[in-house]
Amino acid sequence: MAKITFGGVEENVVTREEFPLEKAREVLKNETIAIIGYGVQGPGQALNLKDNGFNVIVGQRKESKTWDKAIADGWVPGETLFEIEEACAKGDIIQYLLSDAGQIALWPTVKAQLTPGKALYFSHGFGVTYNDQTGIVPPADIDVILVAPKGSGTSLRRLFLAGKGLNSSYAIFQDATGRAKERVVALGIGVGSGYLFETTFEKEVYSDLTGERGVLMGAIAGIFEAQYNVLRENGHSPSEAFNETVEELTQSLMPLVAENGMDWMYANCSTTAQRGALDWKNRFRDATLPVFKDLYKSVATGNEAKITIDANSQDDYRVKLEAELTEIRESEIWQAGAAVRALRPENA
């Protein structure tokens, strides 16, 4: 394990060089990995592990779209694809990759198959951290571990196929066997992580919920809408407003940030853009800082978990969700976006 200092803080990280794939295979050579759930993270992690030479099976409900997707991806019913309960019984490591609501609903079924010495793996700390609301309390005689790729399962798979990796956090909640550390690191390498950095279940879920509601999704969507609307109110066309708000950011500037950081992106823009960005950056930071503090408090107190659980447990949740997503999809900014994307050279 490497020690790396960021901003004066020493962190534990694991790279592919110090823990190569061959070592990961050796650690898990006698274990069956059961992927429970084939929705968001399941396909990417399952396929990457399979392609990397691990013994993988999938557990999913029969007669569901995701069961059919698993078959389409090459999993064979009765050989590598099973009902959830049977897959849990067969697995030495159970990767619990259902949605948070699905984990709550299926917990009694999964818990019944957690015999001593098994490992229960999560990619999100939600169920364990908020166990007073979820009821997910693992038995004391199993390992409880986490690998959380910093991106979607689709991105994890795409980067894997491109010979790259998606960075992941890892955590150990419970080490009953003395092997939790080598198991979790081997799994992190196996699913295709670029490198692994250490965290806890609690910190993972706090940062994740804050990020999703903040910069990664909620805040960026709100900022997009605010700027787009101001431009439109001042007579700019939908095409111009969308290109200046979304297209230039996602297609031109963010790749520069990803390459070498924000300062490098600034250095590769015009002097006018540099000056304006530097002058306005702190105003946006100061304006949003109170919102982020309120958000983090709501996450840490469990309020966001309660909102999520209450909403997801409603019978008409999917109907309401689709209505909200339709409202976004049919709004002018994203209708303009669909038109702009269609005009990209690769889509023309």
Determine how many CB atoms are found less than 10 A away from the CB of residue 305: 21
Cα gap 196→170, rounded to integer Å: 6
- Residue 172 and residue 144 in contact, taking contact as beta carbons nearer than 8 Å: yes
Q: Of 207, 250, 228, 232, which is closest to residue 328 (Cα–Cα)? A: 228
Encoded amino acid at 16, one letter: R
Q: Using an 8 Å Cβ cutoff, are 143 and 180 in contact?
A: yes
- CA–CA separation, 200 and 1 (whole Å): 17
List the alpha helices (DSSP H) in 73-190: 84-90, 100-111, 126-129, 131-134, 153-161, 180-190
Encoding tokens for residue 158?
């795409």
User: Helix crossing, 303-312 with 317-329: angle to 10°?
Assistant: 100
Distance CA 262, CA 253 (A): 9
H helices of the chain, in order, are 21-27, 42-51, 65-72, 84-90, 100-111, 126-129, 131-134, 153-161, 180-190, 201-213, 218-233, 238-242, 248, 254-260, 262-267, 271-300, 303-312, 317-329, 332-342
The phi, psi pair for 166, rounded to 5°, reads -110, 125
Active site residue 124: yes
Q: Residue 337 is encoded by which pair of tokens?
A: 């976006």
Do the beta carbons of residue 69 and residue 75 sit within 8 Å? no
Structure tokens at 170: 């890892």
Q: Which of 50, 118, 124, 157 is catalytic?
A: 124
Strand partners, 3: 12
Q: What residues are annotated to the active site?
A: 124
